[in-house]
Structure 1
Amino acid sequence: MDSLIVGSFTRSNPHNFPAALHIPSLRNSIQGSRCKEWSPLEGICSVKYQRYLVEGHTVTDQKKSILCPTNCRKRLVVACGGQPLESEPNVYDSKNLWNSVTSFLDAFYRFSRPHTVIGTTLSIVSVSLLAVQKLSDLSPVFFTGMLEAIIAALFMNIYIVGLNQISDIEIDKVNKPYLPLASGEYSTATGIFIVTSFAILSFWLWSVVGSWPLFWALSVSFVLGTAYSINLPMLRWKRSAVVAAMCILVVRAIIVQIAFFLHMQTHVFGRPAAFSRPVIFATAFMSFFSVVIALFKDIPDMEGDRIFGIRSFTVRLGQKRVFWICIALLQMAYAVAIIVGASSSFFWSKLITVVGHGILATMLWRNAKSTDLSSKVEITSFYMFIWKLFYAEYLLIPLVR
C-alpha cells in the first residue's frame, strides 16, 4: 500500500507529497529513518499551495530550503515499502527546467512592454509600405530591408522601456507592481545587463546594415529615451510634462515616419529622398496621436507620480480634464483624416479611409462615454484601447493615396 503511494507521488502526481506525509503510518516511517535536522519538514508540509521538489535529500519550496547534513546524505526511503522518493529524478529536472524557462519568458514579456513592441513593429511595416511605388517593389530586398529596420528598432525599444523601468522601480511599485523589477523577479543588475545588451545589439545591427537613416533613427531614439528616464543632473525629462510629451512626439511621430521611410526609400530602393502625400499625412496624424499617448499614459499613474514628485499634466489638471482633452485631440485628428481621405483622387482610397476613420472615431466616442474615470482598472483598459486605435491607424495609413 505505502509503496503504491510513493509510486503515485513519483510518477503521476508529485504534488501529492504533502498529503502523503499526513498519513500517520507513512509519516512515522519517514520520521524513523530521517536525521534529527529533518524535523522542519512537517512545518513545510502543512502549508497549502506550495511546490515541492524532492531531489534525494532536499525538499524546497518557494521560500524555504531544508538540506539534510553531510553524514545523512541518503535518499528518503519509506521503511515499509522500500521505495526511494527520487525514483525518477529526470522527470523533476525536466519539469523544473521548463518552469524556469516559462517564468523567464513571462517576465521578459512584461519587461519588454509588449504594447510598445507591437506598435513599433506595425509602424515600421506601415511606413515601409509607403515607399512601395509598384508591385515589383515587394521583393526579397524590400522584406530584408524592412526586417533589418524592425529588429534594430525593437532592440532599441527594449532598451528604452527597460531603462525607464530601472529608473522608476519605486514608482512602479505603486503604479505597476506587476513589472519584473518592481515585483523583484529581476534584480537591478539583471535589468541593467538586459538594457545594455539590447542597446549594443541595436547599434551593432546598424553597423552591419550601414543605413544612415536607420542610424539617425536609433541614435535620436537612444538619446531621447535616455534623457527621458535616467536620473542625472539636467536629465530625467519625464519630470516636465511638456518636455516628456515632446520626447514621445519626436520618436513616435517624426523619427518613425521620416527616418524609417528614408531607410526604405534611399537605402533599400536607392531612390532620392522625396516625401509623398501619405508620408506627410502619417507624420501629422501621428503627431496628434503621440501627444495623446504622452498625456494619457500618466492618467492611470497619477497616484505614484504625485507621491514621487512627477508633475505630469494629470497631476496638475486632474484625471477627468486630461482624459477629455485626449478624446478631443483624437477626434480632431480623425476629422482631419476623413477630410484628407475624401480629397483623394482614388475612389478605393477615398472609401476606405473615410469609412475606416469614421468607424474608429465612433468607437472612440462610445468607449470614452462608458469609461468609469473613478476606476483605475477601467482607465488602464481604455489606455490599452488607445493603443489598439494606434495599431488600427497604421493599417489605414498605407491606403492613404
Structure 2
Amino acid sequence: MKSLIIGSFSNKVSCYSSPLPDSSSSRIPTGCYHVSLRTSKSNRVIQSQSSLVRRNIDRLDKTLLLYRKRSTKHVASAVSEQPTEPDASSPQNFLPNAIDAFYRFSRPHTVIGTALSIVSVSLLAVQKLSDFSLLFFIGVLEAIVAAFFMNIYIVGLNQLSDIEIDKVNKPYLPLASGEYSVQTGIIIVSSFAVLSFWLGWIVGSWPLFWALFISFLLGTAYSINIPMLRWKRFALVAAMCIVAVRAIIVQVAFYLHIQTFVYGRLAVFPKPVIFATGFMSFFSVVIALFKDIPDIVGDKIFGIQSFTVRMGQKRVFWICILLLEIAYGVAILVGASSHFLWSRYITILGHAILGLVLWGRAKSTDLENKSAITSFYMFIWQLFYAEYLLIPLVR
C-alpha cells in the first residue's frame, strides 16, 4: 500500500487547509492526499484514504468552529464588564445639567445684587430691636421672591432678544449655546413674569406691586426688539433705564414696602435712604457703562451704539473708575457728618478701603485682555455687594 501511495505522487496532488482560530486571513496547511488513476484497486485505496482524511478535516473544522464561538463569548463578556463613560444625557445627569443651565440663564450676579439691595434697604426702616418681628422677615422674603421672579424675566428677555449678539459676546449662555431653544426661553420668561405679578398682587403691597410693574415696563422697553423700543440701542436711554431700576425703584419702593405696608408708618425718607439713592445712582451709571466694555465686538457687529463703541474701551473704563471714586469720596463726607461715632468710623474707613482697592485693581488691569476686563466687571459687582453691607450702617 505504501508503494502504491508513493507511486501516485506523480499524478494529481490535492491539498487542504483550515483557518487559524484567531485570524480569518491566515491559513495553515493541514495535509495533502494524492489520487492515482492507474488501477481500480489503487483507486479504492486512495478513495478510502481520502474519506478518512475528509472525516478528519470535518472533525477539525467542527473543533475550530466551537473554539471560535467560545472565544467570541469570552471576548463579549470581557468587553461588557469594562467600565463605560457616563452619558451626559442619562437621567442621573439631566438634573445637574438643567440646574447649571438655569443658573447661567438667571445671570446670578444680578440676582445676588437684587437680594442684597432689598435686605439692605429694608433694614433702613428698622428703628428699634422690636422691629425685627416675624412680619418684617415675611415682608422681606415676599419682596425678595417677587423681585427674583421679575429679575429672571428681565435678564431672560434680554437674552431672547440678543441671541445672535450673545453668540459673539457670551457664547456660554444657554440660548446662545443652543442648550435652550427659543420656545424654552419664552416659556421660562413668561412663567416668571406671571409668577412675579401674581405674588405681588396677593401680597397686597402697592409699593411692591409698582416696583415690579415699573421694572417690567423698563426691562421690556430696554430689550424687546419692536419699533420705538429696544432702548439698549441708545446709550443714554439704556443707562437711564438701569439707573431708574437699580438706583431709584429698588431704594425707594422696597423701603416703602417695609415702612408703610409692613410697619404701617408714614412715608418719610431719612438720611440713609437719600444717601443710598444718591450713591447707587453713581454705581448704576457705572454698571450701565461698564457692562458694554467686554461686549464691544458684538455690539459693533450688530449696530449697538453703546458709549464703549462710540468712545473706546479705555476712555469709558477710566470714566467708570472716576465716577466710583467720586461716589466713595461723597460717602466718606456723609459718614463724617454722622452723629453716631460708630457709624462715622465704619462709614469713613469702609469707603476709604473700597476706594483704595478699586484704584489698585484698576491700575493693574490689562485693557487689551477681554478676560481681564470681564473679571474687573465682576469685581465692580462685588463692590456693589459690599456697599449694600455698609448702607444700613449709615446713620
Instruction: Give the TM interval when normalised to the shorter protein.
Output: 0.7 to 0.9
Determine the structure 2 residue equivalent to 1:147.
Answer: 141
Choose the corresponding residue for 1:199, options 193, 217, 220: 193
Distance change in 2, residues 1:272/1:86 (3 Å): farther
Letter in 2 for 1:172: D
After superposition, the C-alpha distances for 1:151-189 in whole angstroms (9 at most, x for unaligned) are 000000000000000000000000000000000000010
Corresponding residue number in structure 2 for 1:34: none
Q: Which residue of 1 aligns with 2:202?
A: 208
Do structure 1's residue 228 and structure 2's residue 216 form an aligned pair?
no
* Distance in 1, Cα, partners of 2:211 & 2:238: 18
Which amino acid is the alignment partner of residue 92 of structure 2?
A: W
Percentage of pairs with the same residue = 73
Q: In the alignment, which residue of structure 1 is the partner of 2:151?
A: 157
Residue in structure 1 matching 2:393, options 385, 389, 399: 399
Please tell me the root mean square deviation across aligned C-alpha atoms, in Å.
Answer: 2.3
Whether 2:115 is the aligned partner of 1:121: answer yes
1:96 Cα deviation after fit: 2.3
Q: Distance in 2 between matches of 1:229 and 1:157?
A: 13
How far the C-alpha of 1:352 sits from its partner, in A, is: 0.2
Which structure 2 residues correspond to residues 256-335 of structure 1 after superposition, within 5 A? 256-335=250-329
Q: Name 2:383's counterpart in structure 1.
A: 389
CA distance in 2, matches of 1:82, 1:184: 38
Aligned with 2:342 (options 348, 352, 357): 348
The DSSP-based 3-state class of the residue aligned with 2:74 is coil
The residue that corresponds to 2:5 in the other structure is none
Q: Deviations over 1:210-238 (max 9, x none)?
A: 10000110000000000000000000000
Distance 1:226 1:296, change over 3 A: same
* Amino acid across the alignment from 2:90: N
- In the alignment, what sits opposite 2:96? 102
Equivalent residue number for residue 231 of structure 2: 237
Asked whether the 8 Å contact 2:366–2:372 carries over to 1, the reply is yes
* Structure-2 separation of matches of 1:95 and 1:321: 46
Are 1:368 and 2:368 counterparts? no
TM-score, normalised to structure 2, is: 0.80
Alignment CA distance shift 1:112-1:94 (3 Å): closer
Alpha-carbon distance in 2 for matches of 1:237, 1:254: 19
Q: Which amino acid aligns with 1:339?
A: L
CA shift at 1:80, angstroms?
Answer: 3.0
Question: Equivalent residue for 1:166?
Answer: 160
Gaps of 5+ in 1: 1-24, 29-77
1:346-380 CA-partner distances (Å, limit 9, x unpaired): 00000000000000000000000000000000000
Distance 2:98 2:229 in 1: 32
Which of 111, 125, 132 is the equivalent residue of 2:105?
111
In 1: Cα distance, 2:207 partner to 2:80 partner: 59
Q: Which SS does the other structure have where 1:80 is aligned? A: helix
Q: 1: CA distance between counterparts of 2:73 and 2:124?
A: 75
Structure 2 match to 1:179: 173
CA distance in 2, matches of 1:371, 1:81: 59
Q: Within 1, Cα distance between the matches of 2:172 and 2:75?
A: 46
Equivalent in the alignment of 2:126: 132
Give 1:208 shift: 1.5
> Offset of 1:207 from its aligned partner?
1.7
Cα displacement (A) at 1:264: 0.3
Structure 2 distance, partners of 1:93, 1:172, is 28
Deviations 1:305-351 (A, max 9, x none): 00000000000000000000000000000000000000000000000
Q: Distance in 1 between matches of 2:221 and 2:94?
A: 34
Pairwise CA distance, 1:295: 0.2
Rg comparison, structure with higher value: 2
Task: Give the drift of 1:293.
Answer: 0.2
Change over 3 Å in CA distance of 1:308–1:271 after alignment to 2: same
Tell me which amino acid in the other structure corresponds to 1:372: D
C-alpha separation in 2, matches of 1:166 and 1:93: 29
In the other structure, the counterpart of 1:48 is: none
**Against the structure 1 CA distance between its residues 94 and 373, is the aligned structure 2 distance closer, same or farther, given a 3 Å change threshold?**
closer
Please give the alpha-carbon distance, in whole angstroms, between the structure 2 residues aligned to 1:339 and 1:260: 26
2:302 and 2:333 mapped to 1: Cα distance?
43
Cα distance, 1:149 vs. partner? 0.1
Deviation per residue, 1:253-280 (Å, 9 max, x gap): 0000000000000111111110010000
For 1:267 and 1:187, the matched residues in 2 are separated by: 40
Distance in 2 between residues matched to 1:285 and 1:80, nearest whole Å: 75
Kindly state the Cα deviation for residue 95 of structure 1 after the two structures are TM-superposed: 9.1
CA distance in 2, matches of 1:82, 1:185: 36
